[in-house]
Structure 1
Amino acid sequence: MKGIKYIIPLILTVFFCQKNYSQYITTDENYTAQQLVQDVLINSPCATVSNFSVSGGNFTSGEKSYAYFDGTGSTFPFQNGIVLSTGKASNTQGPNNSLSDDGNGMGWNGDQDLEQALNITNTINATILEFDFVSVGNKFSFDYIFSSEEYQGTAPCRYSDGFAFLLKEVGSTNNYQNLALVPNTNTPVLVTTVHPQISGGNGCPAINEQYFDAFNGTEHPTNFNGQTVVLTAKADINPNVLYHIKLVIADEENYRYDSAIFIGGGSFNFGLDLGDDQLIADGNPLCQNENLVLDATQAGTNTYQWYQDGNLLASETNPTYTVISGGNYSVEVNINGLCISEGEIEIEYAPTLIVAEDEFIQCDTDGTQDGFSSFDLNTIKNQIFSNLPTSYVVGFFETTTSTTLLPANYTNTIANQQVIYAKIMNIQGCYSAFPITLKVNTILLGQNEIIGLCNGSSTTLSIANGFTSYSWNTNPIQTTNQININTAGNYTVTVTNADGCSTTKTFTVELSEPATITNVIVNDFSNNNTATIEVVGNGNYEFSLNGINYQASNTFTNLQTGNYSFFVKDTKGCGITPGTFQILAAPKFFTPNGDGLNEYWQVPLLALQPKTIITIFDRYGKLIYSFKANQNGWDGKFNGETLFADDYWYTIVFENGRIVKGHFSLIR
């Protein structure tokens, strides 16, 4: 039993050592440039390769900065391939528990072609693999991963080593074409161009984050802090033309924090270009009833075989094939019996969109009932089509030719009903504009009203009939279109129509009564005679001198001498109160000469106020005569003696205590 006890731990130790070892890539630096290219990268009779060279670090230990790597048994995406590093190739092996930081003070130069491709001037520690090739196909591609120790902290916001895959025809004076680009852009792949959001001080937002794989922990197949996802470098080429390709990576500015490119073994593919994939996600699917001719024609005595979704299309042996349905299409071309060149393309068709709803009704809820309302177009776009693909982008416009995108929260510009147009923004050529009707449901109850209620009476509050429901704020709630009330207050009714829209109207009921006249203030004996009617009462009143034309002011101006009747009307219809007043004026002279005309000085109309006293004085203030308003007046005599022609003064004391003074002339 003791033997078993000691043997089991030994077996487990060996097992875990083997398991841990298999988690990491391993490198082999014994491959020549030709072996790396011919045996590792390219294994195709459809291309010939030549003129191999490789260069890198001059380490005193004899180690190299390039190598063959094996990822069998690890989680690394490539089972094998080539690694080119700015440090020792052996330091690219996992685990990620040390800093790869080689190449200081070695006289290890950079590369001018790389600097020109990246528009930089300060590279060092360059590792370069280059060769020539001729392909029978019209395109080629290969897969790679860019890894770096600079994927740490905030370094991705500022620092990156550089690398490029440089291609051009042999003998051409043109600049190299860089194939190491962020997909569908002209941006070189770098730490600074492919990373997630970097938080903290001196951080930066994410850029091309979809192409960043991960920051690595210790247990990682390589000894790098982070890397991209598997990317593909590709180019269109001319068949049977000699090309030169240069794969180069270098430190920028200084040797610190090494980087490497891992190129997938056997991933160099020389094939045929059937054109770009036509996908909904890329915005270029085929439209319904549209056909696409795929052309794989190659020079020479060739045979062709087409496939759809991996299934042999046995009868399709022509150089061209007409696509009439979506799928993954591929072709195998046996070129002169020497090699098989392949091409593939994925085709999707834009679906016929089914319009489920093209009219959207919204209640006018802002209280104005003006026929305008804010529509949430983001919600509407998800309700228009019953089969809208999730990747489709829908935009809204006011006319079919408009290029101005409507905002997500859109208020109609035409009251009550307006047609706008939905367009599929990211799929070109397959769809016309879809007309969408926006309706604003309004309920016209009119403005809020102020209603008068006469003391001791009742009145009816009423709105239009025909709504689906009514609710008055009475206790208990009443649900008819009209109610009878006998008390003042605010009465609000809420109505709802058949579309479920609601609105309210408020009646302000004010108690009212006829006016009580308290005084009439007359300002007469002047050039602008006025009368002001003073009243009291629980109401709002208007005033008139003829019972026809009423005014809000209780003062009448520019009145002539005479007797007046006036009327005070309650605007709520609770009654009219009448009254009278006089506008008086004293004569400027009189002629007591016995001719029977104008023999007495008297104030006309004053007889209606018999208790009024008029007193006459001469210019010296001597009392001459006094009489009541209902008497004849003064005859121009004093104690029976006729007075001389002269000016005389009067004082009038009215029944209400009002006093008026003035003067007049006695003329003989």
Structure 2
Amino acid sequence: MVLINKIYLLLIFGLVFQLGNAQYISVDESFTALQLVQDKLINSPCANVFNVTVSGGNFASGEKSYGYFEATGTGFPFTNGIVLTTGKAINTIGPNASLSDDGGNMGWNGDSDLNQALGLTNTFNATVLEFDFIPQGDHISFDYIFSSEQYLLNPSANQCNFTDGFAFLLKRNGDTNYQNLAVVPNTTIPVKVNTVRGPGTICPPANAAYFDAFNDINHPTNFNGQTKVLTAQSDVTPGDTYHIKLVIADEGNYRYDSALFLGGESFNFGVDLGEDRLIANGTALCPTQTLSLNATQSSAISYQWFQNNIELYGETNPTYLVTSAGDYSVTINYGGNCETTGTITVEYAVDLIVNQTRFSECDNDANQDGITAFNLTDIIPDLFTNLPSNYTISFYELTTSTSALPSIYTNTTPFQQTIYARITNIQGCYSDYPIDLIVNIFPTTITDEEVGLCENTSTILDAGSGFTSYTWNTNPIQNTQTITVANPGTYSVILTNASNCSKTKTFTVTPSGIATINDIIIIDFSENNTITVDYTGISTYVFSLDGTNYQSSPTFTNLIEGAYTVYVKDTKDCGVVPATFYILDYPKFFTPNGDGINDFWSIKNLNQRNLQNGTIEIFDRYGKPIHQINTRNQVWDGTFNGVNLPSSDYWFQMKLADGKIIKGHFSLKR
């Protein structure tokens, strides 16, 4: 039983080991140069290949710097192919867990043709695969990936220009100079670490669209990063002899190896039918346009055209006229099993149907001058009923403008302006489309209001008439001009006018109520008789002595003797509270001449202030007491012991029940 368990564990371990290895490429160094080129890189009966050689590192342990790789099931873009490296080919195998750093102190030279192609003088450790060939078609191409340890995820600034060099050098027999096919697409820039690099490090990205990734440990190869699959290609003359040299080398020193992975059977002796005609590239055909494809080859025996991998019966001429979109290919037979192909993808621009060309916005600022911002990106989906998602639309102020308007554009002509929509990624198929930008206004002035809510009542909020819709922030939403509210709070309503423009009006509803008068503080018998209303309440109040004219201050000054009523009114119209008070003062003179007018001197309304129990003593100018006013004798007639006193100034002293004493003087006039 124990033995069976051990065998079972060994089987499981072996299976895990095999599954683990399956995620990394494998390398076989046993193939000859001819086998690598003829069987692995080309593998075509049309191949006329000779003078095949390969050279690289002479490692003492017998390893090579080139070989055949297999990558089935690893996720690597190529299933198989050829690897050329500046170190040991076997060290290109993943995971990316160690530094591939071979070739030191070996006397392993660089390559003079690579130096010349890249303008270098310091290459080392060159691996070269070269051969002669005679093409049947007029075009050759093959796929490759450039991988390198010098794609550093955390480089220092001085490492940003570290790179190795490689080139795919092609020349026709008899020509002097090579052409380098290993360039950034649509440029003459050689592919290197510092010319194809993605973002994410302190080093600047370069042609990042062609960079694949910085690698973690679990990668099929033992390199820090690599390009995407790139294609080297060139036009050639059928029947002429060409020499191609595939070379890679360390630059500067042997440190940090790099490698070329050439896609298996990707070397194609085909025919060039031209660049793909794509919407994304701006080269798609216009709706009624045709395209003539020419696959003529001087030594061809037959042709067969296909659309979307379906044979086009009867289309056996060297030319074909494209009238609809599709993936087109032609198979060219040169006799026996020798066939080459050419491919091209043709897309057609859509015949656009205009949906909407007038777009409006509301002028939402205060001055309502017909100028506002438009989000032109939001306009695009409504322009056409059949706009494909990959069409690029920009807007221009004039049909002659070359600078596109920003996505957030503020019109320069008030209220209405015409701009132009232009399809920018399909050239020549469409004219500019005029677009009208309309600016509507909301001219009505809207003023926020503060409203009082009287205790135990409700109030009506009126948003005003003349609007097409009302949207209150109540729960549930109400859509009427007026609403009734019973609770304090902030209420807002969106007012929309006939131009579909809106403004928001806010009502601040605050609790309110009538005041409570606690006391009336009176200062009288003075040069400036004054009262102050002592009140409490939850609202704001105004004050009046006549019930008509109100003031915000509860204090009234310069009051004369007499009876008054003070009114305290809630500013939110919850009510008015009155209170009566009396200002006391003494007459400054009296005229006891028997005419019935002002014949007696007294202080009025003492009883209204509960001061009637006080006594008032009157003195002549010498301080002699001459009369006393009390509850029994409430006035003085200007006599003393029945005799009229002369005109003069007299003094009085009033003693109140609380002990307060009031003094003053007055005149007797006869």
Match of 1:166 among 149, 163, 169: 169
Name 1:14's counterpart in structure 2.
14
Alpha-carbon separation, structure 2, partners of 1:358 and 1:212: 41
Give, in angstroms, the shift of residue 320 of structure 1: 1.4
Gap runs ≥5 in structure 2? 448-463, 472-478, 483-492, 506-548, 550-670
Matched-pair contact (CA < 8 Å) for 2:38–2:47: no
Over 3 Å counting, the alpha-carbon distance change for 1:188 and 1:467 in structure 2 is same
Q: Is the 8 A contact 1:46 1:137 kept in 2?
A: no
Helix, strand or coil at the partner of 1:206: coil
Which residue identity lines up with residue 137 of structure 2 in the other structure?
Answer: G
SS in 1 for 2:261: strand
Q: Secondary structure at the match of 1:127?
A: strand
Q: Would the aligned equivalents of 1:310 and 1:328 in 2 still touch at CA under 8 Å? A: yes
Determine the structure 1 residue equivalent to 2:370: 371
User: Is the Cα–Cα contact under 8 Å of residues 367 and 503 in structure 1 kept in the other structure?
Assistant: no
In structure 2, the residue matched to 1:243 is: 242
C-alpha distance in 1 between matches for 2:93 and 2:502: 72
Which residue is 2:193 aligned to?
191
Q: How does 1:179-578 map to 2 (within 5 A)?
A: 179-199=181-201, 203-300=202-299, 302-337=301-336, 339-444=338-443, 468=468, 496-502=496-502
- C-alpha displacement of 1:37: 1.2
CA drift at 1:74: 3.3
Cα-to-partner distance string for 1:139-180 (whole Å, 9 max, x where unaligned): 11111111111122344732111111111212112x322211
CA 1:301–1:133 in 2, change beyond 3 Å: closer, same or farther?
closer
1:76 aligns with 2:76: yes
1:179/1:442 CA distance change after superposition, 3 Å: same
- State the Cα distance separating 1:331 from its structure 2 match: 0.8
Assess if the C-alpha contact under 8 Å between 1:215 and 1:225 holds in 2: yes
Mapped to 2, the partners of 1:179 and 1:301 lie a distance apart of: 26
Shift of 1:390: 2.6
Q: How far apart are residue 28 of structure 1 and its match?
A: 2.5
Residue 382 of structure 1 deviates from its aligned partner by 3.2
Query: TM-score, normalised to structure 2's length?
Result: 0.66
In the alignment, the residues of structure 1 paired with residue 100 and residue 503 of structure 2 have an alpha-carbon distance, to the nearest angstrom, of 73
Q: Which one is further off, 494-503 or 276-285? A: 494-503
The answer on whether the counterparts of 2:133 and 2:242 sit within 8 Å (CA) in structure 1 is yes
What does the per-residue CA deviation read over 1:92-144, in whole Å, with 9 as the maximum and x for residues that have no partner?
12333321111112221212222232233321111111111111111111111
- Conservation of the 8 A alpha-carbon contact between 2:147 and 2:226: yes
Structure 1 counterpart SS, 2:11: helix
In the alignment, the residues of structure 2 paired with residue 412 and residue 382 of structure 1 have an alpha-carbon distance, to the nearest angstrom, of: 20
Aligned partner of 2:47 in structure 1 is 47
Q: State the AA in 2 paired with 1:69.
A: F
Aligned equivalents of 1:187 and 1:32: distance in 2? 32
Displacement, 1:446?
Answer: 9.1
Q: What SS is found at the alignment partner of 1:233?
A: strand
More moved, 7-16 vs 430-439:
7-16
User: Which of residues 177, 180, 185 is equivalent to 1:178?
Assistant: 180
Contact 1:161/1:259, CA 8 A, preserved across alignment: yes
Deviation, 1:198, is 3.0
Q: In 2 relative to 1, CA 218–467 (structure 1 residues): closer, same or farther, beyond 3 Å? A: closer
CA distance in 2, matches of 1:291, 1:273: 18
Moved more, 349-358 or 377-386: 377-386
CA contact (8 A) 2:84 2:127 kept: yes
Q: Which residue of 2 aligns with 1:108?
A: 108
Q: Which amino acid aligns with 2:101?
A: D
1:516-568 CA-partner distances (Å, limit 9, x unpaired):
xxxxxxxxxxxxxxxxxxxxxx9xxxxxxxxxxxxxxxxxxxxxxxxxxxxxx
Matches within 5 A, 1:571-590: none
Q: Tell me the secondary structure at the aligned position of residue 255 of structure 1.
A: coil
Q: CA deviation at 1:494?
A: 9.3
**What's the CA shift for 1:469?**
6.1
Question: Structure 1 residues 112, 390: CA separation in 2 closer, same or farther (over 3 Å shift)?
Answer: farther
**Paired residue type of 2:98:** S
How far apart are 1:30 and its partner, in Å?
2.8
Q: Percent identity?
A: 59
Q: Which residue of 2 aligns with 1:142?
A: 142
Could you tell me the TM-score, scaled by structure 1's length? 0.66
With 109-118 and 157-166 compared, the bigger mean Cα shift is at 109-118
Q: Partner of 2:500: helix, strand, or coil?
A: coil
Instruction: Give the conservation status (yes or no) of the 8 Å contact 1:137–1:271.
Output: yes
Distance 2:395 2:229 in 1: 38
Cα separation, 2, equivalents of 1:149 and 1:420: 52
- In 1, Cα distance between the equivalents of 2:174 and 2:266? 26
Aligned to 2:607: none
Aligned length: 474
Change (3 A) 1:300 1:358: same
Partner of 2:124 in structure 1? 124
CA distance in 2, matches of 1:343, 1:77: 22
| Counterparts of 2:257 and 2:73, CA distance in 1 | 25
State the shift of 1:366 in Å.
1.3
Distance across 2 between alignment mates of 1:119 and 1:380: 51
Query: Cα offset for 1:277?
Result: 0.7
Q: Is the 8 A contact 1:133 1:244 kept in 2?
A: yes
- Once residues 503 and 2 of structure 2 are traced to their aligned partners in structure 1, the CA distance between those partners, rounded to angstroms, is 92
Q: Which moved more, 1:102-111 or 1:244-253?
A: 102-111
The 3 A distance-change label for structure 1 pair 367 and 33 is same
Aligned ranges 1:623-638 → 2 under 5 Å:
none
Task: Give per-residue Cα distances to partners, 1:469-500, cap 9 Å, x unaligned.
Answer: 699xxxxx9969xxxxxxxxxxxx99742221
Q: Is the 8 A contact 2:136 2:299 kept in 1?
A: no
Q: Which moved more, 1:338-347 or 1:110-119?
A: 110-119
Distance 1:29 1:395 in 2: 55
Displacement of 1:404 in angstroms is 2.6
